[in-house]
């Protein structure tokens, strides 16, 4: 196993994206983890889709040495914005919300492009819609199957850099990152820090859209509840894991098909001693 270029020159976990047109991109490396180790940098990246990514940023992403880009989106999302093709990078499609295509989390662009879709929503209703999405991320058959395939990918073959994304890089992507970091033994407070970074990285880029929608009578709080993340969303996911499986390790073993040996191998691959 060899390390490759990281997404940032800094060694700070959760560092800002080095790609101006991918503000919600980040390396999952450097977080303090189990047994005094840190998450291996330069191996696992989370991001949004690539629709508005500049040519310069696409080239820089291509230079990271990625072996796989995992697309967590639905069929309509992929059709509206296909992933770019990178040399020597294999695509993998995992339709996490295949069994729940009408949830808010499966239709982020509906709420980002159509004011009428959110005009009657209050922040409370929007929050409830997103909580419903997280219920599906934990309990739906498609989510369990495809998250299992994601972790199977991470265990397959040589250790190589992987990026994963949905549309806005916050819900399907957010739970992927949160479950991974948790399995690595990252403190829960740090797991939440990574998760909530979306609000300071992505929402500023969407501020002009929110302002435009406000002029058309949309409640900015409701829109931000749909386009951002809230602690209660991730609370919902962890609560459902505890309710359904008791522990995160059992969720991986019984829900995702990643047994104790597989979990140990993931830690062996993705944890390193601090330099």
Q: Tell me the pLDDT tens digit for each residue of 62-92.
A: 999 999 999 999 999 999 999 999 999 999 9
Q: Are 164 and 70 in contact (CB under 8 A)?
A: yes
- Give the separation between CA 125 and CA 120, rounded to whole angstroms: 9
Residue 7 lies inside a defined structural domain of this protein: no
Residue 121 lies inside a defined structural domain of this protein: yes
In three-state secondary structure terms, 38 is strand
Residue 10 lies inside a defined structural domain of this protein: no
Spatial CB neighbours of 32, under 8 Å, sequence gap ≥ 6:
13, 38, 186, 187, 190
Q: Are 182 and 191 in contact (CB under 8 A)?
A: yes
Residue 151 lies inside a defined structural domain of this protein: yes
Predicted confidence at residue 202, as pLDDT, reads 94
Tell me the average pLDDT across 23-52. Answer: 98
Within 13 A of 249's CA, how many CA atoms are on the CB side? 9
Residue 109 lies inside a defined structural domain of this protein: no
Classify residue 47 as exposed, middle or buried by CB count within 10 Å of its CB (0-12, 13-18, 19+): buried
pLDDT band at 11 (very low <50, low <70, confident <90, very high): confident
Predicted confidence at residue 3, as pLDDT, reads 38
pTM, two decimal places: 0.94
Q: Is the pLDDT of residue 165 over 60?
A: yes
Residue 105 lies inside a defined structural domain of this protein: no
* Displacement of CA 223 from its chain's centroid (Å): 19
> Cβ of 224: how many Cβ atoms within 10 Å?
18
% of the chain residues with pLDDT over 90: 90
Q: Which residue has the tokens 């991109």?
A: 25
**Number of independent structural domains in the chain:** 1
pLDDT tens digit string along 219-263?
999 999 999 999 999 999 999 999 999 999 999 999 999 999 999
In three-state secondary structure terms, 69 is strand
- Token code pair at residue 189: 């407070």
Q: Are 241 and 231 in contact (CB under 8 A)?
A: no
Tell me the average pLDDT across 159-183. Answer: 98
- Token code pair at residue 231: 């602690």
pLDDT band at 54 (very low <50, low <70, confident <90, very high): very high
- Token code pair at residue 49: 């889709």
Q: Output the domain CATH number for residue 40.
A: 3.90.190.10
- Give the separation between CA 41 and CA 45, rounded to whole angstroms: 9
Q: What residues make up the domain containing 165?
A: 26-100+117-270
Predicted confidence at residue 10, as pLDDT, reads 66
In three-state secondary structure terms, 32 is strand
pLDDT band at 19 (very low <50, low <70, confident <90, very high): very high
Tell me the average pLDDT across 172-178. Answer: 99
Residue 240 lies inside a defined structural domain of this protein: yes
Residue 8 lies inside a defined structural domain of this protein: no
pLDDT band at 117 (very low <50, low <70, confident <90, very high): confident
pLDDT tens digit string along 179-213?
999 999 999 999 999 999 999 999 999 999 899 99
Least trusted range by pLDDT, from 44-58, 107-121, 258-272: 107-121
Q: Is the pLDDT of residue 95 over 50?
A: yes
């Amino acid at each position: 196993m060899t390390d490759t270029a990281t997404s940032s020159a800094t060694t700070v976990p959760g560092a800002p994206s080095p790609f101006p047109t991918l503000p919600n991109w980040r390396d999952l490396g450097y977080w303090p983890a189990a047994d005094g180790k840190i998450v291996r940098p330069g191996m696992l990246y989370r991001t949004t889709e690539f629709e508005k990514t500049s040519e310069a940023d696409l080239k820089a992403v291509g230079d990271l040495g990625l072996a796989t880009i995992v697309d967590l989106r639905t069929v309509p999302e992929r059709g509206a914005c296909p992933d770019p093709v990178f040399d020597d990078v294999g695509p993998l499609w995992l339709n996490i919300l295949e069994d729940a295509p009408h949830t808010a989390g499966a239709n982020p662009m509906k709420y980002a492009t159509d004011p009428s879709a959110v005009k009657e929503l209050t922040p409370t209703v929007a929050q409830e819609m997103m909580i419903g999405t997280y219920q599906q991320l934990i309990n739906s058959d498609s989510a369990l199957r495809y998250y299992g395939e994601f972790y199977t990918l991470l265990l397959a073959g040589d250790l190589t850099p992987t990026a994963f994304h949905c549309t806005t890089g916050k819900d399907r992507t957010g739970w992927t990152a949160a479950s991974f970091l948790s399995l690595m033994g990252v403190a829960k407070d740090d797991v939440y820090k990574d998760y909530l970074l979306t609000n300071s990285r992505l929402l500023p880029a969407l501020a002009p859209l929110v302002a435009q929608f406000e002029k058309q009578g949309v409640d900015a709080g409701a829109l931000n509840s749909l386009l951002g993340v809230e602690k209660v969303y991730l609370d919902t996911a962890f609560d459902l894991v505890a309710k359904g499986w008791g522990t995160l390790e059992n969720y991986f073993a019984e829900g995702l098909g990643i047994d104790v040996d597989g979990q140990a191998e993931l830690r062996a691959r993705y944890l390193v001693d601090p330099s």
